[in-house]
Amino acid sequence: MENISVLVLTAVLLIVACGTAEAMLPRDFKEFKERYQTEGRTIVGAAHLYFEAVFRYFDAGARDEASKMLRYAMYLSMPLEQSNSYATFVDRLKNQEHHHIFRSFAAGTSPENSYAMSPDDFKLIIVSKEKRQDYTVLTLRSSGADHPRGVWMQENDGLWYMTNNANTYMGIRDPKSAVDARRNAHDADYD
Mark residue 30 as left, alpha or beta (left: phi above 0; alpha: psi -120 to 50; beta: remaining): alpha
Q: What is the pLDDT of residue 167?
A: 98
In angstroms, the CA 147 to CA 145 distance is 6
Local structure of 175: helix, strand or coil: coil
In angstroms, the CA 106 to CA 115 distance is 8
pLDDT digits (tens, 9 = 90+) for 88-140: 999 999 999 999 999 999 999 999 999 999 999 999 999 999 999 999 999 99
Q: What is the pLDDT of residue 21?
A: 39
Local structure of 143: helix, strand or coil: coil
In angstroms, the CA 5 to CA 112 distance is 26
In angstroms, the CA 64 to CA 173 distance is 30
Q: What letter would DSSP give residue 28? A: S
Measure Cα distances from 128 to 14, 44, 141, 163 in Å. 8, 11, 10, 17
User: Which carries the bigger pLDDT value, residue 13 or residue 133?
Assistant: 133
In angstroms, the CA 82 to CA 91 distance is 12
Residue 83 has pLDDT above 60, yes or no: yes
Where are the alpha helices (H) located in 99-138, listed in sequence order?
Answer: 99-103
Q: What is the pLDDT of residue 180?
A: 72
pLDDT digits (tens, 9 = 90+) for 140-185: 999 999 999 999 999 999 999 999 999 999 999 999 876 676 676 6
pLDDT digits (tens, 9 = 90+) for 20-76: 434 589 999 999 999 999 999 999 999 999 999 999 999 999 999 999 999 999 999
What secondary structure does DSSP assign to 64-95, as a single string? Answer: HHHHHHHHHHTT-SS-GGG-GGGHHHHHHHH-
Going by C-alpha positions, the residue among 119, 101, 120 that lies closest to residue 111 is 101
List % helix, strand, coil for the chain (3-state, nearest 5).
50, 15, 35
Q: What is the pLDDT of residue 190?
A: 59
